[in-house]
Amino acid sequence: MGTATTVRRLDAAEAADRVEALAEVLIDCVEGGASVGFMRPLPRARAVAFWQGVAQGVARGERALLVAEDGEGRLLGTVQLILALPDNQPHRADVAKMLVHRRARRRGLAARLLSALEAVAREEGRSVLVLDAVTGGDAARLYARHGWQRAGDVPWYALMPDGAYCSTTFFYKHL
């Protein structure tokens, strides 16, 4: 991985061009058991449609899309910053869909994506970030290690991809 791996923000055209690769990462994460809003099995058409909607949101300036790629340009991970929030929250953004392909995990990519996302948030004038993660999961531990504050847990908030209930922990960070 090392220096050959890059983390960068995609523009609207790049987001549209990378829909298939983004769908592949999403499908892999759901198949691996990640609770990221989708159930198993996740049909490719559903994953592609989701990412097409994200790309449209990037084009409208409603969200920022970051990716991690290897030296050959293969997509290894992604995260989003949702910028389109109510008028009384111009200082805030939501973090969504932190995804790292199973073949690329345990190499620091999620931490790099998170750091880059926080930099983009600052560039966008956002000083409060909010996200949620499966209570006690790897992502929750990652956020806590990187200075995110736990706001609380909601039991049975969502379902795992196999249909089992899971609790969700909400986090925030002041930049």
pLDDT in tens, 16-31: 999 999 999 999 999 9
Its pTM stands at 0.95
Contact in structure between 122 and 93 (CB atoms under 8 Å): no
DSSP E strands in the chain: the ranges are: 6-10, 63-69, 75-82, 92-100, 128-134, 149-159, 165-174
pLDDT for 1 equals: 43
Average pLDDT, the chain: 96
pLDDT tens, position by position, 32-50: 999 999 999 999 999 999 9
Q: pLDDT category, 2, cuts 50, 70, 90?
A: very low
Q: Which structural domains are found in the chain, ordered by start?
A: 2-129 (3.40.630.30)
CB proximity list for 43: less than 8 A, separation 6 or greater = none
Q: pLDDT category, 3, cuts 50, 70, 90?
A: low
Amino acid at 164: A
